[in-house]
Amino acid sequence: MQSDRRSDKELWRLVSQEDDRPAFEQLYRRTLHALLGAIYKWADNADEAEDILQEVFLDLWEKRARIQIKNEVFSYLYSMARYKVFDRLREKQLSEKQVRAWMQVMQEDVVPSAAFLAEDLESRETLVSLELEQLPTQMKRVYLLSATEGKSIREISEELLVSPYTVKNHLQKIRKRLKSAAVRISIYVS
């Protein structure tokens, strides 16, 4: 896909000037985990965090022609998320002390550095490796045959002498575990 190689700024230009939906979706996929992780830290629960994230991207799409992003796109989205969280907190009628603490957080500028991004990638790889190491033996064998050797469900089932449904079930469980690990990563790393 062409947009995979484009910078966030180029994707934003396509979104804001040409209403390019695939570019918007790519921008969403690139920033989703980092933003959701940050919002998780501020929100009361996962459902609320996901609602806030959707509000951010909905506003971004609806106001795309009017929004001018001069610096980093991620920083702009991060600020949008912070303001959305602050609005939610204000709706809950926080104490003045809580509002002051939140205002202090709002003053922070966040731009992921190359070191942060490298550390983030390393943390993700480590957590995924740990998750894979904890798999039961048979599940680990299924994963290795599928992911590293590229074997089909039928080929794995024949090699391990198990039913294709068992292989499919193992792969679904592995995906679920890795997805759960990804959520934990975004909460702790972001």
Strand positions, DSSP E, 19-92: none
Check if the beta carbon of residue 121 is closer than 8 Å to that of residue 171.
no
Query: In this predicted model, what pLDDT tens digit does every residue of 126-181 receive, in sequence order?
Result: 666 777 788 888 998 998 898 888 889 999 999 999 999 999 999 888 888 777 76
Cα–Cα distance, 77 to 72 (Å, whole number): 9
Q: How far is CA 158 from CA 73, 79, 137, 150, 163, in A?
A: 49, 52, 17, 14, 8
Q: What share of the chain is helix, strand, coil (3-state, %, to 5)?
A: 80, 0, 20
Structure tokens at 143: 């994963």
Query: In this predicted model, what pLDDT tens digit does every residue of 26-47 receive, in sequence order?
Result: 999 988 888 888 888 777 677 8
Instruction: Record the pTM.
Output: 0.50
